[in-house]
Amino acid sequence: MEGLLLQLRNNDKKVVTENEAENIANEKTKGKGKLYIVGIGPGSVEHLTVKAKDVILNADYVVGNDTYLDQIESLLTNQEIYRSTMGKEVDRAKEAVRLAENYVTVMVSGGDANVYGMAGIVLEVAEKNEISVEVEVLPGVTAMLASASVLGAPVVIDSATISLSDLLTPWEVIEKRLKLATEAGFIISLYNPKSRQRKSNFENAIEIIKKYRDGSVPVGLVKNALRPEGQEYIVTTLDEVLEYNDWVDMRTAIIICSEDSRVWESEFGSKIITPRGYHKKYEY
């Protein structure tokens, strides 16, 4: 600011007040900002895309909640940081859009920003408030893919992701989707299985799925998939999955497989395989 003030004085021989100089500075930078909504993947920097890493390193501002900012802490060297807490998504979105009018701003979102992430609310806030800002969404590895990779090849065919959080979606809608996705034969990945307030959603969901799918199908449960610490997984069946009910928490994703899926046991552990159908056409 000082520099700009002096420059104006010398070049234009016109004295401006601090306030005027600030307004000029704002005008000069206005429109130079950009908002990146960045999926940071399952929780370790090595699973970020190269572009996501690049954009974070070069941002003026990084906006996110504590959990996600902690996951990329090693990249936060000289950017300004705007921290917010879980449940304050709307405030965070407003702040990011406001900052992006003038600064290169990154809004971080866990996994992928399109999968129960921040992409939607950020665009909604910009649209509603008629803030014209350039937005680029960068994809990240979502929990379904991170967990599938830990389990082997459980997904491979058509699949559905269903969040069991009824904070923004009524439980009746979730129940209907569980029923129809199961009936239609989709592999089902369950997100947000439990929270302190919603202890029974996971159990209720499994009871619905069991009505429409054979109890012997493999089920994989993965906690902290691809995170540097705390990764654990369990391979079981639909009939037996509720034995692990107490183990399931908000850091867990669950993949319910199809009647064609199977478990391959080897000396290196259990891998779930959902065949795509090659065996019907080829010998191997």
Task: Say what the alpha-carbon torsion angle 10, 11, 13, 15 is, to the nearest 10 degrees.
Answer: -70
Q: Which of 5, 34, 38, 42 binds ligand SAH (CB under 6 A)?
A: 42
Stretch that binds ligand SAH, among 79-87, 100-108, 190-198, 266-274 (CB under 6 A): 190-198
Helix axes 201-212, 171-183, angle to 10 degrees: 30
What residue is closest to ligand SAH based on CB? Answer: 111
Closest contact distance (angstroms) between CB of 188 and ligand SAH is 13
Closest contact distance (angstroms) between CB of 140 and ligand SAH is 7
250 binds ligand SAH (CB under 6 A): yes
Closest contact distance (angstroms) between CB of 132 and ligand SAH is 26
CA angle 98, 108, 253 (to 5 degrees): 140
Q: Which of 92, 94, 98, 251 binds ligand SAH (CB under 6 A)?
A: 251
Q: How far apart are CA 232 and CA 214, in angstroms?
A: 25
Judge whether 193 and 252 are in contact, CB under 8 Å. Answer: yes
- Residue closer to ligand SAH (CB basis): 115 or 188: 115
Number of residues in the chain:
284
Count the site residues for ligand SAH by CB under 6 A.
Answer: 25
Per-residue binding letters, 121-160, with ligand SAH (x by CB under 6 A): ---------------------xx--xx-------------
Closest contact distance (angstroms) between CB of 88 and ligand SAH is 15
Closest contact distance (angstroms) between CB of 116 and ligand SAH is 4
Helix axes 2-12, 18-29, angle to 10 degrees: 100
Spatial strand order of the sheet with 252-256 comes to: 159-163, 187-191, 252-256, 218-223, 232-237
- Residue closer to ligand SAH (CB basis): 97 or 108: 108
Q: How far apart are CA 92 and CA 62, in angstroms?
A: 11
Closest contact distance (angstroms) between CB of 277 and ligand SAH is 28
- Residue closer to ligand SAH (CB basis): 187 or 253: 253
CB atoms within 10 A of CB 232: 13
Q: Which of 36, 68, 103, 116 binds ligand SAH (CB under 6 A)?
A: 116
Per-residue binding letters, 193-232, with ligand SAH (x by CB under 6 A): x----------------------------x-xxxx-----
Task: Give 84's strand partners.
Answer: 65
- Closest by alpha carbon to 203, among 259, 154, 148, 243? 243
Q: How far apart are CA 169 and CA 224, in angstroms?
A: 25
- Residue closer to ligand SAH (CB basis): 198 or 262: 198
Judge whether 75 and 83 are in contact, CB under 8 Å. Answer: no
Q: How far apart are CA 99 and CA 120, in angstroms?
A: 18
Q: Binders of ligand SAH among 53-112, rule CB under 6 A?
A: 109-112
Name the site residues for ligand SAH (rule: CB under 6 A): 42-43, 109-112, 115-117, 142-143, 146-147, 191-193, 222, 224-227, 250-253
